[in-house]
Amino acid sequence: MADSDALSLAGRNASGLFVKFSDWAGATRNSYSHHNIINIARYPIVFAIGDAAPITASGAKNSPGALFKVCTMNYHPTSRNRFIGLALAAALGATASLTGCQEVNQPTTTLTQAQWKEVKAQLLDEAPDPQYPIGAQFDDKIELIGFDIDAPLVAGKPATFTWYWKALKDIDDNWKVFVHFDSSEESYRQNLDHHPLGGLYQTGRWKEGQIIKDVQKVTISADFPNGQASPYIGFFKGDQRLPIKNSVKKTQDRRVIGPAVKVQNTNRKPKAAGGPLPNYVVTQVEDKALESLKIDGKLDEAFWSEVKPLSLQPLGNSPDLKSEVRVVRGPDYLLIGATLPDEHVWSKLDKRDADTWTEEVFEVYIDSNRDGKNYLELQINPLGTIFDAKFDERLGRGKGTRDEQINRARSWNMKDLETAVWVDGTINDDSDKDTKWSVEIKMPFTSIPGIDGAPSDGTQWATNFYRYDRPSDKATHTSAWSKPTSGTFHQVERFGTLKFGVPAPVRVPTKQLKLRQLKPATRENAPLKINPEQLQLLQKTGKAVKAE
């Protein structure tokens, strides 16, 4: 028997019980070509009894079956008859002298030899060079090396995604791959969730160092929008997702952002993506009302209560937290006030330009030209820590990696920016129940990227407001003024609109007003009365009309 041959012996007794021995991947063998035999020292043998139940000789826990006795024995070709007899005796319940037996829980899927042969063909000896390299590490378990796509992708037609995974350690449990294939043109998603290799080789079988070629054949939905689309990739089990440990393009909800690819669908007419965009008229406050302004986060000046708020809408399955934002303009600056209900206010990051989006945070985006260039991102957490960044290009479309683009953007600091946070409760204290936290922002117009001065009447800015609320380590509640249709907050085309120059005076409380005394009417200040004949004469001649 050659070293590469499989050892497969089978026997069936009168009652139909089946016994089978197979040399599966993982068995330790030594070849002695001089005698053309295999000498297996303490070869692991797995026994099971049942109607056509496969019995495999395997040292790995990944052998087929449910619960087995794993034992070891000495085997030599010259003892072949003794070997078969011992196996059959074990299958029929006879007593045999075996050493090293232990109970082993096996994966639920039972594979045939043909299936195992198929699996082995997808275990690569060398790292591939994928069409779309990624290099994302999920926890300390799995690396997504990258993936290939057989192009072109056409709606309604079959397609093949080939994912390349690497096991960073032996994995004990089964994690399912999720792939959210999202259109960048419209709000549309096709789920490509799957177990690797069609379920034949789930992650619970993976061994450290293995490289798995996971070929996934799908059909692109017939109504998938024409244009760009991106896969958002991760692993889940129940309501858990594996965290992403390294610096790659990713979302806050543990999804790796894959590169944009083209989907062709010339038969589908584009739909409005995400519905109509919201707009908000910026309130212009009289100078006198602003005299009492103090940037302390409390929003207790009289004019704030007179300004109509805009509401942040929950995204996904997040609850509606009733978060409100108000925007006011002064003579040369913009004021933003946010009221954020929260029963547990917390944050840890206290250094400027830290990764504040990983905690509870309020975010402001302003793009004066709605072109995804030279725009502002401002974040403030409950500790008052500021993250301010100027993006020359929309994040993900600039030069370098995602991290390089973020670091380049946050190296910029807004001049003369004033911010403050007030907490109605006690920050970072789990022992009590908080009510809310509020943010007050004052930014000079000339400090906002792309803005030269106070906006003139009719000016409109693309703007959005976001909030992350994280009541626990496992929960994230996300809300936005204008809902994005993709997995990024930087989707400028989905920003709402701030409008300037529309009259929206703020009423000052009556007690603060000084009523003007009106003069009684006299002949000198009485309104001019003109009868129809006089009006016709005036229109013809243009001559003044004598008052009656």
List strand residue ranges (DSSP E) for 150-210, in order: 153-154, 158-167, 176-183, 189-191
Residue 536: band (very low, low, confident or very high) from pLDDT cuts 50, 70, 90 = low
Token pair 């129809």: residue: 532
Q: What is the pLDDT of residues 496-512, one digit of tens each?
A: 999 998 554 454 444 44
Q: How far apart are CA 478 and CA 467, in angstroms?
A: 6
Q: What is the pLDDT of residues 432-480, one digit of tens each?
A: 999 999 999 999 999 999 998 999 888 999 999 999 999 976 689 999 9
Average of per-residue pLDDT values in the chain: 78
Percentage of the chain modeled with pLDDT above 70:
70
What per-residue confidence (pLDDT) applies to 401?
Answer: 82
Give the closest residue to 461 by CA, choosing from 254, 298, 279, 292: 279
Token pair 């009168």: residue: 14
Q: How far apart are CA 503 and CA 285, in angstroms?
A: 10
Residue 3: band (very low, low, confident or very high) from pLDDT cuts 50, 70, 90 = very low
Q: 45-54, 143-152, 462-471: which has the minimum mean pLDDT?
A: 45-54
Residue 398: band (very low, low, confident or very high) from pLDDT cuts 50, 70, 90 = confident
> 264 has which bridge partners?
154
More confident position, 487 or 509: 487
Query: 66-96 burial string, b = 16+ CB within 10 Å, else e?
Result: eebebbbbebeeeeeeebeebbbebbeeeee
- Cα 397-403-405 angle, rounded to 5 deg: 40
What per-residue confidence (pLDDT) applies to 541?
Answer: 54
What per-residue confidence (pLDDT) applies to 533?
Answer: 62
Question: Do the beta carbons of residue 465 and residue 338 sit within 8 Å?
Answer: yes
Residue 236: band (very low, low, confident or very high) from pLDDT cuts 50, 70, 90 = very high
Question: Do the beta carbons of residue 461 and residue 455 sit within 8 Å?
Answer: yes
Q: Which fold has domain 122-264?
A: Immunoglobulin-like (2.60.40)
> 113 has which bridge partners?
none
What per-residue confidence (pLDDT) applies to 276?
Answer: 87
Tokens of 272: 């409005």
What per-residue confidence (pLDDT) applies to 503?
Answer: 52
Which are the contacts of 352, defined by CB distance < 8 A and separation ≥ 6?
385, 386, 387, 413
More confident position, 190 or 510: 190
Question: Do the beta carbons of residue 199 and residue 122 sit within 8 Å?
Answer: no
Q: What is the pLDDT of residues 268-294, one digit of tens each?
A: 765 555 678 999 999 988 888 899 899
Q: What is the CATH number of domain 279-499?
A: 2.60.40.1190
Residue 71 scores a pLDDT above 70: no
More confident position, 29 or 126: 126
Token pair 């449910």: residue: 66
Residue 7 scores a pLDDT above 90: no
Q: What is the pLDDT of residues 90-112, one digit of tens each?
A: 443 433 333 333 333 444 568 89
What per-residue confidence (pLDDT) applies to 273?
Answer: 57
Tokens of 230: 């991106």
Each domain of the chain, given as residue ranges in start order, spans 9-111, 122-264, 279-499
What per-residue confidence (pLDDT) applies to 195?
Answer: 95
What are phi and psi for residue 263, nearest 5 degrees? -115, 130
Residue 547 scores a pLDDT above 60: no
Percentage of the chain modeled with pLDDT above 90:
57
> 122-264 and 279-499 share one CATH topology?
yes
What per-residue confidence (pLDDT) applies to 275?
Answer: 76
Q: How far apart are CA 274 and CA 271, in angstroms?
A: 9
- Mean pLDDT, to the nearest integer, of 175-198? 91
What per-residue confidence (pLDDT) applies to 151?
Answer: 77
More confident position, 388 or 100: 388
Its pTM stands at 0.51
DSSP string, 407-439: HHHHT---TT-EEEEEEES-TT-TTS---EEEE
Tokens of 543: 């001559």
